[in-house]
Amino acid sequence: MDSYAPPDTPLEILHHDHEILVANKPPGLLSVPGKGADLADCLLARLQAVFPETLLVHRLDRDTSGVMVFALTPHAQRHLGLQFEKRQTRKTYVARVWGRLEPKTGTVDLPLIVDWPNRPRQMVDHQNGRPAVTDWRVVRYEETATRVRLFPKTGRSHQLRVHMLALGHPILGDPFYAEGPAREAPRLMLHAEALRLRHPDGGAGMNFAAKAPF
């Protein structure tokens, strides 16, 4: 993997109240600290510098941008954590994938497991993999790519990246799974566009969104 050079971008807070904090994570920034001092800069640390009580709920890959929710109380962390665990949140991603993805809607249901000798890469494994399901819907066709919305039903590591690869349409700019011209994009073309969840205080449904920067 290339050396870590996190972007020097200001925090973008989408929502802040007494229980939760929602931010738009820039691409190239870790969600949580990695191993070693050189990997300490991350969205969690940047938020804790401003809101010391910030607690982690879920993660996005370093190269993925978009909506992340954090808890500001232990109660909120438990409440949100259970929603993710029980698949009660609704996540929407935007991606640009290589080639012409057809048909215009579909579902990938392929179990995933870590590709141990090549970690953090993941791979499809029908015997030992954990269930992983992604719905897709084409937004539009481009010259050599397809813009698509992805709706993961599960939250496996690298799920969207491996599922698109399995369809023969790797996400543009993916340093792990794309090859040749598909890899040449300036960044991983994957963005967590929207997140729907229930507020930990009262259970009201809330939707947070951040427009894809590509």
Q: What is the separation of C-alpha 68 from the centre of its chain, rounded to a whole number of angstroms?
A: 9
Whole-angstrom distance, CA of residue 188 vs CA of residue 141: 18
Q: How confident is the model at residue 1 (pLDDT cuts 50, 70, 90)?
A: low
SS3 168: coil
Catalytic residue at 38? no
Confidence (pTM): 0.96
Residue in 2, 8, 41, 61 annotated catalytic = 61
Q: What is the pLDDT of residues 49-83, one digit of tens each?
A: 999 999 999 999 999 999 999 999 999 999 999 99
CB atoms within 10 A of CB 91: 21
Q: What is the pLDDT of residues 91-136, one digit of tens each?
A: 999 999 999 999 999 999 999 999 999 999 999 999 999 999 999 9
Q: How confident is the model at residue 2 (pLDDT cuts 50, 70, 90)?
A: low
CA 117 vs CA 82, 110, 121, 179: distances in Å: 32, 20, 9, 19
Q: 182, 197 in Cβ contact below 8 A? A: no
Whole-angstrom distance, CA of residue 3 vs CA of residue 15: 32
Per-residue pLDDT at 3: 87
Q: φ, ψ for residue 208 (rounded to 5)?
A: -120, 140
Tokens standing for 202? 């009262």
Helices (H), the chain: 43-50, 74-85, 159-166
Contacts of 92 (CB under 8 A, 6+ apart): 149, 150, 151, 192, 193, 194, 195
